[in-house]
Structure 1
Amino acid sequence: MSSNTLRHKIDDKTAKIGIIGLGYVGLPLAVEFAGNGFTVLGIDTDLNKVEQLNRGNNYIADVDSQALKQLVAEGRIEATTMYGRVGELDAIFICVPTPFTRNKEPDISYITSAAQNLSEHLRKEQLIILKSTTFPETTEKVLLPILESTGLKVGRDFYLAFSPERIDPGRKDFTTKNTPVIVGGVTPECTQLATALCEQIIERVVQVSSPRTAEMAKLLENIFRSVNIALVNELAQLCDRMENIDIWEVVDAAATKPFGFMPFYPGPGIGGHCILVDPYYLSWKAKEYDFHSDFIELAARTNENMPFYVLDLIIRSLSLDGAPLKTARFLFLGVAFKRDVDDIRNSPAIKIMELLRHRGAQNVAYNDPYVKQLQLDGLTLQSQPLTDEVVRAADCVIITTAHSAYDFDAIIKNAKLVVDTRNATKSLANPTGKIVRLGSSLNQAHV
């Protein structure tokens, strides 16, 4: 078989697609390919995910449950824990997690493990595409040597490219299909094949000169956000100390400039997988070249410190009401890391809850319509019903995720004190000063 044969199989949709890692990136990708006429085999070490998928049960909010069930019933998607079936596949996407260690160093063990398992069954004329966010040169200096240890040669026997994921959980206007992707192959032929495959399900595919360029571009996308969020987070803390300046009004005013400005907004901290992690992936790699990315690391630390600022804001606000921290009742609204999703990875709300408990608070509860329970300091907490009585019983209500299901008018009406970290109460009157907003002087909000 030649690359022309593989290209024909891609074009006529007879290529069998493999997805290693069936999480937030892998499962939507699998459904998109299967929905466009391809047969897909998912591989995951998590037996529960495999069993759920093979029963047609959806576990990712961004995936259409009915479409998934139909595709499984038609035999378009199946899942396994066995890498032994890799030989059946023509193209394989690696969509595994890339966290960092406790010391904030890259942990690419999921990539290397997938590559080693894959290499044991790699055959000629297979296309491998890494989608996991990682530091530059991972594809060429980590993944490629493992695959070539089989004796097969890239560009001659198999094909390898990097095409980073661009998933924004909960977003409806930009999906897998209409979000452009970038592709960089190890050889020109690798790039062409990867592009041809991605074009089967994605409206716009942008080629770049190499995998390392694509890897750096992905990090730039997320570090750009990290740096700009850190800037407004720092300004929010300054506005808190000054008199009669509200960071939200400041940003909205600056955003009226039609050029040279892009609005970013403060918050209780960075959650999710990418923006929190990616700065450290690049700064770690930079040190190999005797380069210290001080600016990038400073921004990351600024964002990481926001839960501590919110903790201080809560304690200051509560002290004005005379409620002792130890016995005060705290109710957090929203623990998912962003609005209208169930994803709690690196949630700043959970971090703030932990900090409160470590400071002696004994009554910390939460409500989240998307997160029924969570683990906090070894305890299992259940989401509390959001009734008027529950809100009235709380000494302090903290808005950490502004889910669209929340009726903030009713919440403010019944609450004694509200700390709003998302500007969710922007349009609501605050005549009694019970609302304390992140990034606003306490003197203008709570007296």
Structure 2
Amino acid sequence: MNASPATPVSTPPARAALKPLDAALDELLAYATALPDAESVLTFDADGRVLAQDLTSSLNVPAHDNSSMDGYAVRAADCADAAAVLQVSQRMAAGISANGLLPLAPQSAARIFTGAPIPPGADAVVMQEDCVALEGTTGEGAGPRVQVKVAPQPGQWIRRRGEDVAAGSVVLQRGERLGPASLGLAASIGFDRLQVARRVRVALFSTGDELVMPGEVLPQDMKPGAIYNSNRFFLRTLLQRLGCVVTDLGIVPDRLEATIAALKTASDGHDLILTSGGVSVGEEDHIKPAVRALGELNLWQIAIKPGKPFAYGHIGGAHFIGLPGNPVSSFVTFLVLVRPFILKLQGAREVAMKSIAAPAHFTWARADKRREFLRVRQNAAGGLDLFDNQSSGVLTSAVWGDGLLDNPPGRTIAHGDMVQFVPFSSLLC
């Protein structure tokens, strides 16, 4: 009797390998074409905005050689001897014109104040703490005199014309993200208004039937399985810190048709749609099919921990980014991926995450295949302490910590190993 042929066993298709973070970020940023629009704002109101023009100075700063100290302008050669005594022939205050200044006569000094122009012939300033003012006398040499107790070096305490800014130079480049110092620099060369990239328009919503809003349901009235929507609060705040205009579309139910309707609404009039939740592979995760129904999905799932279920695509003229629902995953992927994406949309030149080397003051024996971002805190000795619970649902780890440890795939950490530390202070602004 012939044996019946064996029934073939179907082999499930192999899962695509997770994309490494650097490759995913390069791909993501390649889609982030800078928005073409710019607007003029008061320099007072430009903090955090991205400059849309080169700023070229039409003047020298400082406009003339001037003193950086209160003291006496002298000829250094006249003060080579210890305790030289000079006649005080002039008085120079800040704000006087540098035009038509009288030359400093040999063996004399000019009383001078910070910011005042240096008289012709003077080549040094001696601070007043190194001088002794002498009473005037009658007869030859009458008038105020000064004794210089310390021999000066030529050029000391003189700020040279144009040493800060030279006329005709580009002081701030297009793509500079403006901060307090750069705004002061812009003002120092006469700019009271600046051309900056317009604000990115972002539609934000969360998905999940389990989500409720604080204030709408009291803790004692929460249904089993319900949780407060924390992601909505920190994502909206992070977007606003980046200067975005946020349209908050609230919470969308876990239904495909509701998700499609929300994405369609969000794509109208926005540059970016940002969602949290619904990007994993569960039966109630509807973001992926909904995006594909309306547009295209270009990137899905990245080899990072926390934050693997990350998605990017297009719907109409809007970019789409889907973040994981777990709060720490959502928080970390925003900082690592969404923040540089938004900065690039604004035309910023520098978008890369910056890290510094620091010693680990803990042991991490659990190497992972994915690149990990551990929540850590720098201690008084300069080392990094690790939060005990690194679960993607423990948001207290991001409050306790002051940064992320960027750990490569497959690496264990021994106490004292040098690791890469990314301070939150460089990311939360």
TM-score, normalised on structure 2? Answer: 0.22
Which structure would you say has the larger RCO, counting Cα contacts within 8 Å and 6 or more residues apart? 2
Which is richer in strand?
A: 2
**Structure with greater Cα Rg:** 2
TM-score, normalised on structure 1? Answer: 0.21
Which is richer in helix?
A: 1
